[in-house]
Structure 1
Amino acid sequence: MGLIGKTSHVDPSEEQTRDSEDAQHKGAAEHIKHPFSDLRQKLKETSLYDIKVKAIHAKHKIGKWQNLVNPNHRHDEEHEKATDEKRNRVAEGHRFESFAPERDGNKIKWYIDGRDYFHAVSVALERAKETIYIADWWLSPELFLRRPPFSTQHWRLDHVLKRAAERGVQIYVIVYKEVNQALTCNSAHSKRALRALCPEGTPGHGNIH
């Protein structure tokens, strides 16, 4: 039983001819795409190319200065004007020209500062029965949710999450993985600290994700 298409069944001279034809075809296609490649390469080797590059850089710099002179440069093109007009038509019918209309019946609560807010967060976490979702830019597991901190170790964030995991609550945490050279959010510490709350073989293990 023979194999169709196996290279050993092709005559070497025929295979060489095919390769030559393929190379010629690719060369022709490349020439059509870049008909003046040789001329362009020669231009790069002359001072004219350097002058062209400097002119492009100067144009970009002038463009940046124009943006400073024209503070409305992000709204002066046709598609930008069309977008602004559409946005304005929507906002005209709303109070204070807001992007959204007033909506009644919402359950909301005002918080003046962080103390009341974090106290409410501690209550919600302690009452959680099924799932806790946390998305944060900078999450400190050692954050105290209630004041004063020296007498409320019970309400430290990692302690609250540990208790929740031990009672069967599934906890999902998403934190920003920072660029180490620019930021010190220490997301790696947050990850290690939270995963270490419920070691293998202890209650709550596997409930913190």
Structure 2
Amino acid sequence: MISVLIVDDQRLVRAGLRMLCAAAEDMAVAGEASNGVEAVALAAELDPDVILMDLRMPGLDGIGATQQIVKAGRRARILVLTTFDDDDHLYPALAAGASGFFVKDTEPAELLGAIRRVAEGEMVFTPELLRRVVDRAVIGGIADTAVTESVPLTDRESQVLALVAEGKSNQEIADTLHLGVTTVKTHVANLMSKTGCDNRVRLAVYHLQNFQ
């Protein structure tokens, strides 16, 4: 069961997210917070698996709360859910330690899938946002974002890497390639080991640098 902490200053938004998560058989809402200060306190008290974090809130905002939660070493992974998908919000949230970034008009099923993926340790974005993150990393020459030298990959690893770069989940990759999810996870782990990329965003950057 995935425990979720909902953080948003709008009561109606919190209510909608609570209903959505509560309706999923594999999720339970651990609590709600209306600002960053409450989020930091409840993250420590409730120890949730995933925190749905709004960014614009009075007092301590979502970026500040994310920084404090990550710095405290909480196991919760933070999925930003905001109205604003511009770079001024996206990159500070990632720098603060967020594990994903979605906008509030995301389809409910897609958001539930993102929560599950974040809980499993993935970094998640819509394909459009992932492309922006990857393009900025490559254009900006971020040295620690990916290994620039190509390493030998098997045909199957190359196929998995290309789908990771498209923002596909392990389940989506498994369905596309007619593989088991466990097999896909093994391929992704092998790709990270071979390339030196420690998350899926860096794998996507690696793919763009070496295969396009």
Q: TM-score, normalised by structure 1?
A: 0.25
Tell which has more relative contact order, 1 or 2 (C-alpha 8 A, sep 6+): 2
Larger C-alpha radius of gyration, 1 or 2? 1
The structure with the greater share of residues assigned to strand is 2
Q: TM-score, normalised by structure 2?
A: 0.25
